[in-house]
A and B are shown apart, each in its own frame.
Chain A
């Protein structure tokens, strides 16, 4: 299933159970997969029109009335465009609002550079108290949705809209504040989130065949980062690589560096090298932005040889 369909289905189920949940859009409910919720819950869905700033502050107002608003837009408009509204109306005012940014990073594909957020995590991470969660696949998203709704506070859900390769099995148990170890290994620690995770696992499998053992951790919650798991994983191999669909400045790489600041452990980065996006399909964009499995593999090997 597409991630947006899973998200909309889960949100619909939650709205059935929890009458406090409201949904707000800025003319992208169809893109987010939630258009159907407007028919099912006409009282608790508000399409604010193309006015993201207003949507964010209106959500804060609803939250001050005890409602639990979820607001949606493409990732850049759900974050950088409304950074001040998130910061003041929502976070500084301590409002319980969920912010959903879709099509993060290169998954924006044909919408191109204007819609391709490589900075959204960085923007949101700088706001005190924010939680940032980026799901890998539908299993993780399904497990997470009730937990996200139950979390009282301001949270950013960085959501790919399209179908994502399955990473987790049906027995998956989700903890919002605990990173998931996907593969035990001894040579190199690889920390990743969201879109590149399946590629990282495939690369780790290939490398195992070549005699290199990867320890792979899915850091689904980038803030607050699970320092304990990240530090233990990095110590285990003595070298780490971060892989992310985001600028290497301000995102997962930075969060991991901060967590490992007192460790003498080198950390290599795979991610967007401080540049803007552009139009293209995923195969082109992965190549152009340095997110191919080949590149991930090369960096992991470089990290292993540097030990």
Chain B
């Protein structure tokens, strides 16, 4: 396992851009924005064993914003769930790494997601299951800010609050952009923290969700809420496309975007500080 999380984040970003560049298109923006979160969870916090992806009692991670599959695959590969070469099959016919997360195809994926809002509900079910099983696991899940417009998110938020699921730690990837326009212009979700508090959740705001130290600190804090009778929402203020300037510049257009192999090489150079 890699100790230097900052270096790891650079590696993950390179892997994401190389895989998407190899295919020519992909969900780059929302993959790059959650890299720090994945680094902290998979390489610091989660009780998991890559040799036993189905290990009972393991911590779970459910990527409710299922389109960030490329980021999760990069983390799983670096963590040792499968060889990194496999990333080059991303989203190609017959691959075990489809565009959206699929628990039946990919070792280490804890829930099939892609239809927005559902993964978060599933995470609530998993947290209920863990409590029922009494195995002490922590259930982590990340939802998108645009995804927070789905009514099902709030159905699940209400239930998790009322069921006192303090074994559930959720994150919002608050990168402020969705496909058509900025979130605030389409159907604003602000004030986000107040909403979650009103649903019976602890809320932790992370000013820079792409600063791995801030994310690590927030997760450590969230874990201390176990026993409080409340789930925790960590709002990560992030940048969609973080780490790759030409992806950031595409704004809302970077959700699912074309990336040539040449562009991927440029991205890697920028991430490595060679540009």
Contact = CB atoms under 8 A, between A and B. Distances in A.
A61 B111 contact: yes
A65 B133 contact: yes
A208 interface: no
A89 B132 contact: no
A89 B118 CA distance: 7
Interface string B129-148: 11011000000000000000
Given A61-B125, A65-B126, A53 B151 contact: yes
A298 interface: no
B141 to A, nearest CB: 10
A282 interface: no
Contacts of A54: 121, 124, 152, 155-156, 159
B156 to A, nearest CB: 5
B125 A62 contact: yes
Interface string A34-78: 000000000110101101011011111111111101000000000
A56 B126 CA distance: 13
A44 B132 contact: yes
A48 B112 CA distance: 21
Interface centre among A48, A53, A57 (most CB of B within 10 A): A57
B259 to A, nearest CB: 27
Nearest to A24: B125
25 contacts: A22-B132, A48-B155, A48-B159, A49-B158, A53-B121, A53-B151, A54-B121, A56-B121, A57-B118, A57-B121, A57-B124, A57-B125, A58-B122, A60-B121, A61-B122, A62-B126, A62-B129, A64-B125, A64-B126, A65-B126, A67-B132, A84-B115, A85-B118, A93-B112, A94-B103
Among the interface residues B133, B152, B158, which one has the most CB atoms of the partner chain A within 10 A? Answer: B152
Main secondary structure of the interface of A (DSSP, over half): helix
Interface string B154-191: 01101100010000000000000000000000000000
A58 B114 contact: no
Given A49-B158, A53-B121, A64-B103, A88 B114 contact: yes
Q: Which of A53, A64, A84, A92 has the most CB of B within 10 A?
A: A64
Contacts of B121: 53-54, 56-58, 60-61, 85, 89
Closest 5 CB pairs of A and B: A61-B125, A65-B129, A57-B121, A54-B155, A93-B112
Nearest to A93: B112
A66 B122 contact: no
Nearest to A65: B129
* A contact residues, range: 20 to 34
Contacts of A61: 111, 121-129
From DSSP, what is the main secondary structure of chain B's interface residues?
helix
Interface residues of B, number: 31
A117 B123 CA distance: 30
Contact of B112 (A46, A62, A92): A92
A94 B122 CA distance: 13
Given A53-B155, A58-B156, A88 B125 contact: no
A49 B130 CA distance: 21
Given A88-B118, A89-B118, A93-B103, A58 B159 contact: yes
A84 B115 CA distance: 8
B129 A64 contact: yes
A64 B122 contact: yes
Contacts of B104: 93-94
Nearest to B122: A61
B110 interface: yes
A42 B197 CA distance: 27
Q: Which of B122, B123, B127, B163 has the most CB of A within 10 A?
A: B122
Nearest to B112: A93
A58 to B, nearest CB: 4
A62 B128 contact: yes
- Name, among A53, A54, A69, the residue most crowded by chain B CB atoms within 10 Å (CB to CB): A54
